[in-house]
Amino acid sequence: IVVVGEVWLKNDDLKTINAEREKNNLPIYVNPRNLAAGTLRQLDTDIVASRNLQTFIYDLEYLDNGQTFETHEEELQFLKKQGFNVNQDRKLCKSLSDIQNYYESWIEKRHDSQYGIDGLVIKLNNKQYCKQLGYTAKSPRFGVAYKFPAEETTTTVEDIIIQVGRTG
């Protein structure tokens, strides 16, 4: 079996790790997404094991018994039965207005989640259509990211250092 997913770190775990780093006068980590990615690059397996990384599995890439699925939802149910962690925060929508309503319901509650979320991914459910559409060099044609509006904040520039680089 070959699956596709992502590794992530809970926001609460980031706070715990940063509290320990502050006690040891070490720089704190800015966000859980970068820390999870950096943790996977660690050569020290003890550090990796200590960080309580989580996974969400999103797709079944290959299954050697030849079993196929008509829908993506069936595929996700199969993956869950096999013991993979499948994100439960999903909805099978039947119309564009269903998609829009679900998207709008997440705009504010995204901050309450233990995992970072900057939008939703909308995918076709019909696996045959997905196969026909295929992939670009970087992403599937049967899925699209629907990003949330950018958050805006005010900051103060405290200092600017101007320097000339090596090439002038």
Residues 116-156 pLDDT 10s: 889 999 999 999 999 999 989 888 899 999 999 988 889 99
Instruction: Name the residue with tokens 């990211």.
Output: 145
More reliable by pLDDT, 120 or 108: 120
Q: Write out pLDDT tens, residues 16-49.
A: 999 999 999 999 999 999 999 999 999 999 999 9
SS3 category, 41: coil
With beta carbons less than 8 A apart as the criterion, state whether 45 and 3 touch. no
Environment class of residue 159 by beta-carbon count within 10 Å: exposed (0-12), middle (13-18) or buried (19+)? Answer: exposed
